[in-house]
Amino acid sequence: MQHALVLDIGNTSVKLGIADAERVCVSFSLPTDTLQGGDLLGLRLCELLKQAERETGTLAIDAVVASSVVPAMNPLLDHACRRYLGLKAGFAHIDIPVPLQNHYDNPAEVGADRLVAAFAARRLFPDAPSVISIDYGTATTFDCVTDNAYVGGLICPGVMSSLGALSSRTAQLPRIPLSVDEICLTPGHSTVTSMNQGFLFGFAAMSEGLCARLKAGLPGPCPVVATGGFSRAVARVTDCIDAVRPELLLDGLRLLWRDARDAGGAGQ
């Protein structure tokens, strides 16, 4: 059975997984570090592949497929894959087309991560007239697909970046680890609970409002797929999210690799 190393290179972290044709078998996360050399990245990849072998019994990799919004990481990954894995890294939206019509005024402006997430959400609901994917990452992004066309989206503040900005620019608000155990909104009786409630239910309300406004302009029904570190927490307190897929981007890369492999093209 063939396997691919799939990587989602974001501004904060690099999420990577080992995938076969049907699923992402195991996944890991590394901090995004553009100052590391390609050799260090290659050695880290080798260690993670050894861990994957211990967990799944799978080590042999036939292809590397990545999406990246950090251009400085691309040559590092390419060097690491060539030297340590004997493979060329294929990048979504550059080497491997994402099979969605791109209706952005300047198609090159759309991040590969947004296109791959939208593609994966569309494949999850292939019969729906439209679909929205929400990624709660460094930024919170909403991306819309109608039929087979990426029609655009929204870019909003991210959860952790907003929390960091709030704490760093206010004298009396601490940097706190978000606790997302609550399911009912109540007035906070301390700074910590006020911030936790405000962030959890504030992002839930933003998601509800923006999804409702986006759906008003899209053919429906229009399911919503959420991904990213805050997706499960938000989904617990709102009914605007139809599916939570923490590995949506990795699964989109898996689908791109499988489709290209089956067609005999890039990403074999």
What are the catalytic residues?
A: 113
Q: Is 169 helix (H, G, I), strand (E, B) or coil?
A: coil
Q: Which of 58, 50, 59, 62 has its CA nearest to residue 2?
A: 62
Q: How many helices (H) and strands (E) does the chain have?
A: 7, 11
| Distance of alpha carbon 94 from alpha carbon 23, whole angstroms | 23
- In angstroms, the CA 94 to CA 92 distance is 5
Q: Would you state the structure tokens that stand for residue 11, as one six-digit string?
A: 């501004």
Rounded distance, CA 163 to CA 202, Å?
12
| Distance from chain centroid for Cα 261 | 22
State the chain's maximal CA–CA distance in angstroms: 60
For residues 113 and 135, give the distance between their C-alpha atoms in angstroms, rounded to a whole number: 9
Phi, psi of 222 (to 5 degrees): -135, 90
